[in-house]
Chains A and B, each alone.
Chain A
Amino acid sequence: MSVLTNHLDLFLYTFGQTLQLFAISAVLSLVLGTILAALRVSPVPVFRGIGATYVTVLRNTPLTLVFVFFVFAYPLLEIVKIEPYTAAVVSLSLYTAAFVCEVVRSGINTVPVGQAEASRALGLTFTQMLGNVVLPQALRSVVPPMTSTMIALLKNTTVASGFAVVQAGSIRDSLSEAGENVLFGLLWVAIGFVILVMPLTYVQQVFEKRWSVAR
């Protein structure tokens, strides 16, 4: 207990950073992932190809290597300078977007074809059809796997420890510098994550309930 109470500031600050990393990356990856899913189901073959290639590359690459690219390799290209923190957000967002894309796409596939046909027959454009008819119905089946993807993202933020970005995953380093018992420290980190994930599970239950009725 003393590990936690003696370093409460450290715990609060780093977990705050974790939450911030998570929140920004979650929003970005949800937006990008949905766009990618739209590309993957679009009637234009080139768009489908772009979507499929993105997913194949990003989903098949270890997250650590995505970090390595944006923290070490990308600056060598000298395009726009980015801080390690920004690099972490970019890496997490791009990586998670590939998973979000597949979750959204599987949701789209659960919506009967007739719904899209009726939309097209009424003169709705592809984007109107997705936005007004297909995606709202896809949401329902997407909630549980999307929650899992977001939980994975939350825990993946700790990968940033290896790249000079301070968050809950870097508590270990600070504790060992201070000569504390690292194992107990990590136990508290684990408990911290369990607590952080619980609201996500709650949100999942709320959405599942709400969307199961409206149809």
Chain B
Amino acid sequence: MTAASTSPMIRVAGVDKFFGPLHVLKNVQLEVPKGQVVVVLGPSGSGKSTLCRTINRLEPIDSGVIEVDGQPLPAEGKELARLRADVGMVFQSFNLFAHKTIAENVMLAPVKVRKTPATEARKTAMELLERVGIANQAEKFPAQLSGGQQQRAAIARALAMKPKVMLFDEPTSALDPEMVQEVLDVMTGLAKDGMTMLVVTHEMGFARKAADRVIFMSDGEVVEDSTPEEFFSAPKSNRAKDFLGKILTH
């Protein structure tokens, strides 16, 4: 077997990161095998979003190793852009391109980065928008859509690059409660189709239902790494028990 087929999709080893004097990631170890869905939980400020953003180098790290599909993250430049094209990312605040229609948002990267002909890119875009259930919004601008629709469009935009892995950075945290489910449904569908996913979220239901593994972070450290059943029924650490106690009581 070749190294690429045995290596995990994401490997994070001994990663440290500081924001000034603040130690936000402390010797973080994490592996995400191909096809697995890993949910990262933890209180605010525990470093889970930062961890997610380091994997495509939106945040550079101070020490340690991050590999995507067996390849270490290159420094800023063309190489890094190529790697990022294979790593889909979905943001808390959607970040759809405000001056482009939904269809244009989905088409932009395939046309500019993959050099896909525009007609083909549009066809793929429409299929993806169909898949996330907003094909009828294709010609509208992002500001004309609801939050849930915008986030589904953002997922379609990421999928248009046919990524090897998808990173979700609190994808439902900026949504009104009634719109959370429509986004989670799309994500659950992706997980079922075998997409490798790293999901930072506060949605315990999604973690229970769709995750293969749950990572619990606190104060920049990975405190627990277990299956959802194990984590929710019998958390090992006091910090996890405390966290679950706070969120599951209401």
Q: Which of B80-131 contact A (CB under 8 A)?
A: 81-89, 91, 93, 95-99, 108-109, 112-113
Whether B112 lies near A124 (C-beta < 8 A) is: yes
With both chains docked as a complex, state the minimum distance between the C-beta of B95 and any C-beta of chain A, in angstroms: 4
By a CB distance below 8 angstroms, the chain A residues around B157 are 118, 122
- Residue from the list B93, B109, B154 in contact with A123, Cβ < 8 A: B109
CA A119 – CA B95 in complex, angstroms?
9
By a CB distance below 8 angstroms, the chain B residues around A114 are 91, 93, 95
CA A122 – CA B109 in complex, angstroms?
6
CA A160 – CA B81 in complex, angstroms?
47
Whether A215 lies near B141 (C-beta < 8 A) is: yes
With both chains docked as a complex, state the minimum distance between the C-beta of A38 and any C-beta of chain B, in angstroms: 16
Say yes or no: is A120 at the interface (Cβ < 8 Å to chain B): yes
By a CB distance below 8 angstroms, the chain B residues around A124 are 81, 108-109, 112-113
By a CB distance below 8 angstroms, the chain A residues around B141 are 214-215
CA A157 – CA B88 in complex, angstroms?
51
Which 3 pairs show the lowest CB-CB distances between chains A and B?
A: A123-B85, A118-B95, A114-B95
With both chains docked as a complex, state the minimum distance between the C-beta of B58 and any C-beta of chain A, in angstroms: 6
By a CB distance below 8 angstroms, the chain B residues around A215 are 98-99, 141, 143
Given the interface pairs A117-B95, A121-B56, A122-B84, the reply to whether A132 lies near B89 with Cβ below 8 Å is no
With both chains docked as a complex, state the minimum distance between the C-beta of A210 and any C-beta of chain B, in angstroms: 12
By a CB distance below 8 angstroms, the chain B residues around A118 are 89, 91, 95-97, 154, 157
Q: List 25 A-B contacts (CB under 8 A).
A: A114-B91, A118-B89, A118-B95, A120-B81, A121-B58, A121-B87, A121-B88, A122-B84, A122-B85, A122-B108, A122-B158, A123-B81, A123-B83, A123-B84, A123-B161, A124-B108, A124-B113, A125-B81, A128-B112, A128-B113, A133-B97, A133-B108, A137-B98, A137-B99, A215-B143
Q: What's the count of A-B pairs with C-beta under 8 Å?
A: 71
Central interface residue in B58, B109, B143, by most chain A CB within 10 Å: B109
Residue of A nearest to B82 (CB): A123
A103-120 contact mask (Cβ, 8 Å, vs B): 1 or 0 = 000000000101101111
Whether B113 lies near A115 (C-beta < 8 A) is: no
Say yes or no: is A136 at the interface (Cβ < 8 Å to chain B): yes
Q: Which of B48-91 contact A (CB under 8 A)?
A: 56, 58, 76, 78, 81-89, 91
CA A123 – CA B110 in complex, angstroms?
10
By a CB distance below 8 angstroms, the chain A residues around B87 are 121
With both chains docked as a complex, state the minimum distance between the C-beta of A201 and any C-beta of chain B, in angstroms: 25
Instruction: Indicate the size class of the contact surface on chain A.
Output: 20 to 34
By a CB distance below 8 angstroms, the chain A residues around B85 are 122-123
Whether A115 lies near B97 (C-beta < 8 A) is: yes
With both chains docked as a complex, state the minimum distance between the C-beta of B80 and any C-beta of chain A, in angstroms: 9
With both chains docked as a complex, state the minimum distance between the C-beta of B88 and any C-beta of chain A, in angstroms: 8
Given the interface pairs A120-B58, A128-B112, the reply to whether A43 lies near B76 with Cβ below 8 Å is yes
CA A43 – CA B112 in complex, angstroms?
20
By a CB distance below 8 angstroms, the chain B residues around A125 are 78, 81
CA A123 – CA B76 in complex, angstroms?
11
Residue of A nearest to B92 (CB): A114
CA A119 – CA B112 in complex, angstroms?
11
By a CB distance below 8 angstroms, the chain A residues around B154 are 118
With both chains docked as a complex, state the minimum distance between the C-beta of B109 and any C-beta of chain A, in angstroms: 4
CA A188 – CA B180 in complex, angstroms?
67
CA A121 – CA B81 in complex, angstroms?
8
With both chains docked as a complex, state the minimum distance between the C-beta of B74 and any C-beta of chain A, in angstroms: 12
Residue of B nearest to A139 (CB): B99
A204-215 contact mask (Cβ, 8 Å, vs B): 1 or 0 = 000000000011
B154-177 contact mask (Cβ, 8 Å, vs A): 1 or 0 = 100110010000000000000000
A137-157 contact mask (Cβ, 8 Å, vs B): 1 or 0 = 100000000000000000000
Whether B95 lies near A214 (C-beta < 8 A) is: no
Residue of B nearest to A137 (CB): B99
Instruction: Other than A118-B154, A133-B108, A137-B99, give 5 A-B pairs with Cβ distance below 8 A.
Output: A118-B95, A121-B58, A121-B91, A122-B161, A215-B99
Central interface residue in A123, A133, A137, by most chain B CB within 10 Å: A123
Q: Which of A85-119 contact B (CB under 8 A)?
A: 112, 114-115, 117-119
By a CB distance below 8 angstroms, the chain B residues around A119 are 97
